[in-house]
Amino acid sequence: MCPVNLLGEVETRVLGSLIEKELTTPEYYPLSLNALVNACNQKSNRDPVMNLNDNAVSEALRRLEKEGLAGPADAMDNRVTKFEHRLQEAFNLGRRETAVLCELLLRGPQTPGELRSRAERMYRFDDLGQVQSTLQLLAQREPPMAKMLPRQPGTKEARYSHLLSGDVQTPAPEAAPEAAIAHGTSNGERITRLENEVAALHKEVAELKQQLAAFRKQFE
């Protein structure tokens, strides 16, 4: 199953927060609305940091429930409604795929190295190769759930993004410094060549003037 509609920024944060708390603090999961609001507004492990209120989180929960991704948890104690994600039912992901997707939901595009260190509290990856293979599994699903973004100039690792909010549009990379230098060098060479040609023309004109003056003297 895949969400019919793409997730907005608040739904993404709510879903990521529910997944994170289930994996890192299962003793406090499912979450009450108040606990979920606090989880969404955490200053650690979040990018960007948000300041959501109860209404915004409640509305996001309603939209997530329509997509089959979250909803009220079944419990004997009905004094306080608690909420859970339903990612496993929706996508049937393994724990390592869930951990990587959770980090992408909470922090946005990241490199495999960043994902390995940040997801460690949810799943301990043996090496970068395991992170990359997990990202490939997400990317190869139908429809894809993650993709590799174009590498930015000056960076060693490509970043990956989730696709639950739609395809990620990245700005065209700026010209690499080497290309800029080469372009500057090409312009400099062209200017120098033109200056030399102008100087040669000046010299030819001066010589023609001298020859014309000498020719005139013959008839004086």
Q: Which has the closest alpha carbon to 70: 52, 57, 80?
A: 57
Residue 176 structure tokens: 């690499």
Residue 124 structure tokens: 């301990």
Half-sphere exposure of 106 (CA within 13 A, CB side): 24
For 81, residues 6+ apart whose C-beta sits below 8 A from its C-beta are 32, 33, 72
First to last CA, the chain: 104
Residue 43 structure tokens: 């200053």
Using alpha carbons, list the distances in angstroms from residue 123 to 60, 83, 103, 194: 27, 23, 11, 64
Which 8-state DSSP code applies to residue 145?
S
- Three-state secondary-structure class, residue 3: coil
Residue 156 structure tokens: 């060693």
Report the pLDDT value the prediction gives residue 158, as an integer from 0 to 100.
94
Report the pLDDT value the prediction gives residue 5, as an integer from 0 to 100.
76
Report the pLDDT value the prediction gives residue 169, as an integer from 0 to 100.
74
- On whether the CB atoms of residues 46 and 107 are closer than 8 A, the answer is yes
For 145, residues 6+ apart whose C-beta sits below 8 A from its C-beta are 91, 101, 138, 139, 162, 163, 164
Residues paired with residue 108 on neighbouring β-strands, in sequence order: none
d(CA 179, CA 174): 10
Angle at which helices 9-24 and 95-107 cross, to 10°: 140
Per-residue confidence in pLDDT tens, the chain, 220 aa: 454 579 999 999 999 999 999 999 999 999 999 999 999 999 999 999 999 999 999 999 999 999 999 999 986 566 899 999 999 999 999 999 999 999 999 999 999 999 999 999 999 999 999 999 999 999 999 999 999 999 888 888 999 999 999 998 765 555 445 554 555 556 667 787 777 777 767 677 676 676 666 656 666 6
